[in-house]
Each structure stands twice: as structure tokens, then as C-alpha cells.
Chains A and B, each alone.
Chain A
């Protein structure tokens, strides 16, 4: 098996150039999906027979919650790759993901709260799913502040990287919390091995919004990585040519 792609991926120059070419396309797809997802979710899908129109919050709540977990895993993997193989780009990826993931986590909690009020008659409850998601928010924030706490950026990369890897244990806890504990939060609807128990038009809206929001986060993360590359690789000739052209 050829490892060439891996080495190319770890080159800041390659990453900067390829991300610059991909971004316009990614934005186009993201905005198109977002527009369709919002139309489908807010207008072209029915209200729930029990929850009424508050079910439309799902089209934000589920995608942001999924993104918060998905990008945490991605951040921890990037941190591990950077830690083990000392690959600079991997640390840049991890650092760039953190604030975006933190915002997704906050939005998952916020929209969950605004969905819980009309549905369960409470803004907040210390149940397993919600508490573990709150811990995820603290992990993201902890990663960010730990990374900033060191004068030497490379020491910060490694220290925050360890935190990210340790915090990975929280992800399965979040996912299985609705099975392991008796919680107020409802169980899985689509991420299980049976036929989804959801109306097709709702499923279309939900899947579209999941892809759209993950793509949106990806675009933001790519821009952040490009900024990070510029701030760390300023002495390189290729970057000078890239910037001054």
C-alpha cells in the first residue's frame, strides 16, 4: 500500500492549495443543501402528531448534536496523529476544529432546551444525555484554553492533544446514554440498525440538514486551518508565492 497520500496530506503546502481550490465548491453545495433543508424542514414537512410544530427544532438539534460528536472524534484523531507522528498539519487541524465543535455543542444544548420546554415542560434536566453533552462542551472549551495557556505553541499542541484523546471516552457515553440510563431524552430514530421510525418527508429534511451543517462546519474549519497554516508557516517560500501572487 502506498503511503504517498498520507505524506502529501501532511504537507501544509498541499493542504493550503487543495483547500483553496475546494472551498468555492464546498460552499456552493453547502448553501444549496441548507436552502433545501430549511424549506423542507420548516415548510414542506408535517408537524408531529404529538409534538406539533416544535418538532421542526429537530432539524437543527440533531445535526448540531451529531456534528458536535463527529468533529470531536475527528479532533481527537487529528491530535493523536500529531502527537504520535509529530505531524504539524494534524495539530493545526485539531486546533481549528475546537471552536467550531464548541459552537455546535452549544447549539445542540440550546436548541434542545428550546425543544424540551414545549415538549417536556422543562428547559433543563440533569439527565445522562444532556449532562454528557454538557461535558463535551467543557472538553472543547478546556482544549481551547489549555492550548492557549502555553507560550510555546508546540507544547500547547501536545498538552491539549492529550486532553482531546482522554476526552474521547465521553463520546460513546453520549451516544449510548439513552440506552444505558433511563432518561427523559428520547431514543435514537435514525442511527440504529432498523428501519427509521420517521415520516419520509421528515427524514429527507433531517438528512439534508445533517449533511448541510456538517459541510458548513467543514468549510469553516478549512478556512481556520488555512489561517493557522499562514500563522505558522510564514517563513516558507511557497507561502510567500501563494500570498504575493
Chain B
């Protein structure tokens, strides 16, 4: 069978090749569409998670600062109380 005979498909080339062509195009389009959906969803989640991590880190930082301030205040209080006590002793 020669190449041109193969393409002609004995006068049925138009029907055969349209069927195969349209199917191939739809299959490839489906694959690409599904793949890009998957990819964009993955990126969306990545952004979401890194945003969450950032806000969590900020929150943790703020909490640490607060705790530090509280500790400092407590220390100040005890120092103050100590000095008060010492004052009373005097």
C-alpha cells in the first residue's frame, strides 16, 4: 500500500480522517484542560498555604512579643515590690 493510497482510504479518506482527527483534537484538548486545571489548583493551594504560614508566623511573633512584654512588666512589678519592701524595711 502506498502512502497516497493510505491517505485516500479508498474514497473513504474524508470520513475516516475526520473521525480520527476530531477525536485526536478532543482527546488532546481534554488532557491539556484537565492538566492545567490540576496545576492551577495546586498553585492556588501553595499560595494559600504560604499565606497561612506567613500569618501564623506573624501571629507567633506577636504572641512572643506580648509574652515578653508581660514578663518584663512582671519583672518590673517584682522589682518595684522589692524596692517597696526595702523601703518599708528602711
| A contact residues vs B (CB 8 Å cutoff) | 42-43, 47, 52-54, 56-57, 60-61, 64, 99-100, 103, 106-107, 110-111, 114-115, 117-118, 216, 220, 223-224, 226-227, 230-231, 234, 239-240, 243-244
Contact A111 B23 (CB under 8 A): yes
Question: Shortest 10 CB-CB distances between A and B: which pairs?
Answer: A53-B9, A54-B12, A53-B12, A111-B19, A227-B38, A114-B15, A114-B19, A53-B10, A57-B19, A230-B41
In the complex, which residues 24-55 of chain B have their Cβ closer than 8 Å to any Cβ of chain A? Answer: 26-27, 30-31, 34-35, 37-38, 41-42, 45-46, 48-49
Closest Cβ of chain B to A143, distance in Å, is 17
Q: A25 vs B48: C-alpha distance in the bound complex, in angstroms?
A: 31
Closest Cβ of chain A to B33, distance in Å, is 9
Closest Cβ of chain A to B63, distance in Å, is 21
Contact B10 A243 (CB under 8 A): no
User: What residues on A are CB-neighbors of B22 within 8 Å?
Assistant: 107, 110-111
User: What residues on B are CB-neighbors of A60 within 8 Å?
Assistant: 19-20, 23
Q: How many A-B residue pairs have CB under 8 A?
A: 85
Query: In the complex, which of the residues B15, B38, B49 has the most CB atoms of chain A within 10 Å of its own CB atom?
Result: B15
Interface size on B, residues (CB 8 A): 28
User: What residues on A are CB-neighbors of B12 within 8 Å?
Assistant: 52-54, 56, 118
- With contacts A230-B41, A231-B41 taken as known, whether A244 is within 8 angstroms of B15 at the C-beta atoms is no
User: What residues on B are CB-neighbors of A57 within 8 Å?
Assistant: 15-16, 19
Query: In the complex, which of the residues B27, B34, B35, B48 has the most CB atoms of chain A within 10 Å of its own CB atom?
Result: B34
Contact among A43, A117, A216, A239 with B15 in the assembled complex (CB-CB below 8 Å): A117
- With contacts A230-B41, A239-B45, A243-B42 taken as known, whether A53 is within 8 angstroms of B34 at the C-beta atoms is no
Give B31's nearest chain A residue, CB to CB: A220
- With contacts A103-B30, A216-B27 taken as known, whether A115 is within 8 angstroms of B15 at the C-beta atoms is yes
- With contacts A60-B20, A107-B26, A216-B27 taken as known, whether A230 is within 8 angstroms of B42 at the C-beta atoms is yes
Contact B49 A227 (CB under 8 A): no
Q: A110 vs B22: C-alpha distance in the bound complex, in angstroms?
A: 9
Closest Cβ of chain A to B24, distance in Å, is 10
Q: A99 vs B37: C-alpha distance in the bound complex, in angstroms?
A: 14
User: What residues on B are CB-neighbors of A230 within 8 Å?
Assistant: 38, 41-42, 45
Contact A54 B6 (CB under 8 A): no
- With contacts A103-B26, A226-B38, A239-B45 taken as known, whether A52 is within 8 angstroms of B10 at the C-beta atoms is yes
